[in-house]
Amino acid sequence: MGDHDQSRDHRRKRHNKGYRAKEKDDGNPFLSSKKAPSILTKSSAEKNAHQTKSVESSLQVPNQPKQPTIILKSRDASSPNPRSKTDTANGPSNNTPKTPSTDVQSLLAPYPHMQQTAVKLIDENLEFHAGLVQSFLTEQTDFTVIGVIGLQGTGKSTLLSQLVSNAEHSIFPVQTQANILECTHCTTGMDIYVSSNRLILLDTQPILSPSLMDISVMQRKTSPIYDAPGVNKSSAEYASLEIHSLQLSAFIFSVCHVVLFVQDWFIDPNLVRFIQATEMLKPSNITNRPEEYYEYFPEGVFIHNKVPSCDFLKHNIGDIQVRVISFRCTIFYFVACFQVPEMEDTANFTRVMSTIKKHLSGTSRRNFTINTLSEKNWLLYAAKIWDHIRKSSYFLEYNRYLP
């Protein structure tokens, strides 16, 4: 059998095999019902528009990334009011007008002040008490502190009482007829009174009082001055009295805007000498920084009480001013003198007291420190000053050089 015959048989077998496969496909109904796939194409107009848009986008600068969108909730949405649930449960709430703020009410409310009498700031044992007066002080800075210094029976308490009240009732304790006959004092330590027009008045016990020295001798109170070296034992009581008077006066000089020097004589050289010693021993401003050093001095006003009218002639007043200025005290850079008549002379007494009030209200108020103090801060400052005075060794050293 030749090669030609083998190739013919091979073609015949392939033809028969393909014919049988076609018959098998024609017998399958699923294959016969299969549809030809449909191809979707765009129209020529759409193709041209798409190509134009792609060309324009390729010529443009790439877009910047979009900024994130931040959605903020309102305060009511983020922290709902707990009252809203209650209002929703109880029904719709009525729109009531809002009340004024507490700040406005506090500004319109009257300032706290003492009603009848003064309270104790420094007791007879020279202990400082700030709790009694703290509730009457505010945070405002517009206030005036007035203190008084004088000998026994010169009318210090009466004068301070007349500055805030014209009534017969005295705010500070005054001498009675029994006190005058027994030669005893009324004020012990220091009393304080806060008025409605923000006047802070400080009434002190009399300086160099024989009544206080008599009480000290009778009670024999222990004092560090009594056992101090170089002190005469016989004069220890008087030295203790003078040191206590100097301490109270130094405190008045440090915490008052105006100091009233009340005397019942033409001019008392002992009082002026006492003022000079007080100015020398007065502590300076309490600060921890040397650059904040601040020396404070109040304004001094001389009140001459119980003096005859002839002592207040024009040439006598000029003589008083020249003598006081000659003592070279810093507090006496300007001397204001007032003659107070008897209280029985109601018209003249009222006129003089009105003049004194106008003068005190017009005085310049220096700052106690570099920073302006409020009333409550002034009380804290006064407590620090008193503690500094009590612990100071200058007073004991001064006592050693007394005659």
User: Is the pLDDT confidence value at 25 over 80?
Assistant: no
How much is the pLDDT for 384? Answer: 92
Provide the pLDDT for residue 128. Answer: 94
Length of the chain, in residues: 403
167-201: per-residue pLDDT in tens?
556 788 887 788 778 888 888 899 999 988 889 99
Q: Please state the rounded mean pLDDT for residues 17-30.
A: 49
pLDDT band at 236 (very low <50, low <70, confident <90, very high): low
What is the per-residue pLDDT for 212?
83
pLDDT band at 99 (very low <50, low <70, confident <90, very high): very low
**Mean pLDDT confidence for 304-329:** 73
Q: What is the pLDDT of residues 342-385, one digit of tens each?
A: 777 778 888 888 888 888 888 778 888 888 899 999 999 999 99
Claim: this prediction has a pTM higher than 0.85: no
For 29-33, 271-275, 327-331, which range has the lowest pLDDT when averaged over its residues? 29-33
Q: What is the pLDDT of residue 222?
A: 52
> Rounded to whole angstroms, what are the CA distances from 233 to 49, 84, 225, 227, 228?
123, 81, 10, 8, 9
pLDDT computed for residue 55 by the predictor = 45
Mean pLDDT for 296-321 is 78
Domains of the chain from N-terminus onward: 119-221+234-401 (3.40.50.300)
Q: Report yes or no: 279 and 332 within 8 Å, Cβ to Cβ.
A: no
Percent of the chain with pLDDT strictly greater than 70: 60
